[in-house]
Amino acid sequence: AGGAEAVDVCLFDEDGQETRARLPELTHEIWHGFVPGVRPGRRYGFRVHGRWDPWTGARWNPAKLLLDPYARAVDGEFRLPPEVYGHVRDWPDQQVADTVRDDRDSAPFVPKGVVVADDGDRPGDHRPGTPWADTVVYELHVRGFTRLHPDIPPELRGTYAGLAHPAAIAHLVKLGVTAVELLPVHQFAHEDHLLARGLRNHWGYNSIGYFAPHGGYSASGTAGQQVGEFKRMVRALHAAGIEVILDVVYNHTAESGQYGPTLSLKGIDNQRSYRLAPDARRYADFTGCGNTLDTTQPHVLRLITDSLRHWVTEMGVDGFRFDLAAALARSAHGVDMRSPFLAALAQDPVLREVKLIAEPWDIGSGGYQVGAFPPPWAEWNDRYRDAVRDFWRHALPDVREMGYRLSGSSDLYAWGGRGPCASVNFVTAHDGFTLRDLV
């Protein structure tokens, strides 16, 4: 928040009473200070002061309590009443509604970050270390996988503890899978248009807290307990020889576009967190979700890589599948395989050693990049998916296509020095029917 005028740390007691402490120092665009007496379990947020000038992308509004992007745990759920918007959401002229600042306090309506103690538990100490050639990935949803499982206690169903239950793990072992790929478990929010219809975001592709396990999947509580519960789940899966891969959504956040809520980065430093259109009121949207994080900005790149290392070193995970990875590889002029994001991961001594899987496309121009990512990346291979489906329905135009797909897709990956293990072969995933329904 280097362009801001001031930053307040806001501490909340058990009754929701707020105490503010002004951060006194600004060094290298980072506000900092020491607040004594803050113990684990304390809830907090930020208020950031600065210009309100949406025409230049400046959207600072100290009336809005902001979630710490580095919060290790989040307590509470995001609701989206008018008070959580930085602008007057219900302004009569909707064409300019995003330019009118809303000065109502959002604190009663938003979750808070939670101070979490380091318990010293490192579930990654004994990783299965399955080679790529032997890896069989099972994509699953933490809530959906155990929600109706009859052998799991009802109070654990749909939680990290439920996935760690012996009955859930026994099923995975029986299937013969070597890794689970968890659909998004970063703290996420529900979109306004869903809440207005009485619905919720089931899948989780609407992240707002990149360090925090989603509190809604915790059986033990949301005042920091979700962190330990997640670690115990990882440890149980590792003990069964099963790696843990996270489906991560760093391409956009839950703050949507110019008419979206102000929850975190939009209120901290909107101009340098998101890719803005030439008209800086608006956002460059390569994701279809209203905004795109700007990975060419050093502090955004640091946020993402710090988050990734946290999940590897502190939480014990073994790899990542990057949603809309092409959006992360964009530079000023399009998708760039020498982009800062890809370069940062390639040289990182921690991240280059884990499994990195790209969903190699986004919705922008030139976004389809199957076969283009550099080593050590693997990719979801939709050409394999389409060839197998066409074979099943007797619509495959050329048997050579099937030959390439079954032999490792060398036509896609060999030119870049990658072998068959660069191809993550799948027939169906969360984007469509389950395998049982499809077949």
pLDDT at 121: 83
- Rounded to whole angstroms, how far apart are CA atoms 321 and 376? 13
DSSP 159-173: SHHHHHSHHHHHHHH
pLDDT at 1: 80
Identify the CATH assignment for 6-115 out of 2.40.30.10, 1.10.730.10, 2.60.40.10, 3.40.50.2000.
2.60.40.10
- Rounded to whole angstroms, how far apart are CA atoms 360 and 329? 10
- Rounded to whole angstroms, how far apart are CA atoms 164 and 159? 9
Residue 68 has pLDDT above 90, yes or no: yes
Location of structure tokens 């979490």: 116
DSSP 205-245: --EEEEEEE-GGG-SS-SSSHHHHHHHHHHHHHHHTT-EEE
Residue 20 has pLDDT above 80, yes or no: yes
pLDDT at 326: 97
Every domain of the chain with CATH number 3.20.20.80 lies at: 132-425
Which tens digit of pLDDT belongs to each residue from 50-66?
999 999 999 999 999 99
Token couple for 149: 């499982």
CA 2 to mean position of chain CA atoms: 24
- Rounded to whole angstroms, how far apart are CA atoms 360 and 232? 32
- Rounded to whole angstroms, how far apart are CA atoms 130 and 318? 10
As a whole number, mean pLDDT of residues 397-418 equals 93
| 382 in catalytic set | no
pLDDT at 5: 96
| Closest among 197, 18, 243 to 112, alpha carbons compared | 18
CA 385 to mean position of chain CA atoms: 25
Measured between alpha carbons, how far is residue 5 from residues 8, 51, 58, 142, 271 in Å? 11, 8, 12, 41, 14
Reported as a pLDDT band with limits 50, 70 and 90, residue 433 is confident
pLDDT at 118: 87
Residue 241 has pLDDT above 80, yes or no: yes
What DSSP character marks residue 43? E
- Rounded to whole angstroms, how far apart are CA atoms 10 and 75? 15
Residue 439 has pLDDT above 80, yes or no: no
As a whole number, mean pLDDT of residues 221-241 equals 97
Residue 438 has pLDDT above 80, yes or no: no
Strand boundaries in 54-115, DSSP class E: 58-59, 73-75, 112-114
Check the CA dihedral 428-430-436-439 and report its sign.
negative
As a whole number, mean pLDDT of residues 10-20 equals 95
Q: What percent of the chain has pLDDT over 70?
A: 100
Which tens digit of pLDDT belongs to each residue from 112-169?
999 999 888 888 788 999 999 999 999 999 999 999 999 999 999 999 999 999 999 9
Location of structure tokens 């030439």: 278
pLDDT at 211: 98
Q: What percent of the chain has pLDDT over 90?
A: 91
As a whole number, mean pLDDT of residues 411-420 equals 94
As a whole number, mean pLDDT of residues 289-294 equals 96
pLDDT at 122: 84
How crowded is residue 74: how many other Cβ atoms within 10 Å of its Cβ? Answer: 30
| Closest among 123, 66, 186 to 315, alpha carbons compared | 123
| Predicted TM-score (pTM) of this structure | 0.95
- Rounded to whole angstroms, how far apart are CA atoms 106 and 85? 8
Reported as a pLDDT band with limits 50, 70 and 90, residue 398 is confident
Instruction: Give the SS3 label for residue 31.
Output: strand
Every domain of the chain with CATH number 2.60.40.10 lies at: 6-115
Reported as a pLDDT band with limits 50, 70 and 90, residue 397 is confident
Location of structure tokens 């509604």: 97
Q: Lowest-confidence range among 19-33, 64-78, 282-296, 387-401?
A: 387-401
Q: Which residue among the candidates 181, 243, 269, 359 is catalytic per the annotation? A: 359
pLDDT at 437: 81
- Rounded to whole angstroms, how far apart are CA atoms 21 and 303? 24
Q: Which residue among the candidates 323, 353, 362, 382 is catalytic per the annotation? A: 323
* Amino acid in position 125: D
Which tens digit of pLDDT belongs to each residue from 74-111?
999 888 899 999 999 999 999 999 999 999 999 999 99
Residue 2 has pLDDT above 80, yes or no: no
pLDDT at 330: 95
Using only the alpha carbons of the chain, give its radius of gyration: 22
| 359 in catalytic set | yes
State the architecture of 132-425 in CATH terms. Answer: Alpha-Beta Barrel (3.20)
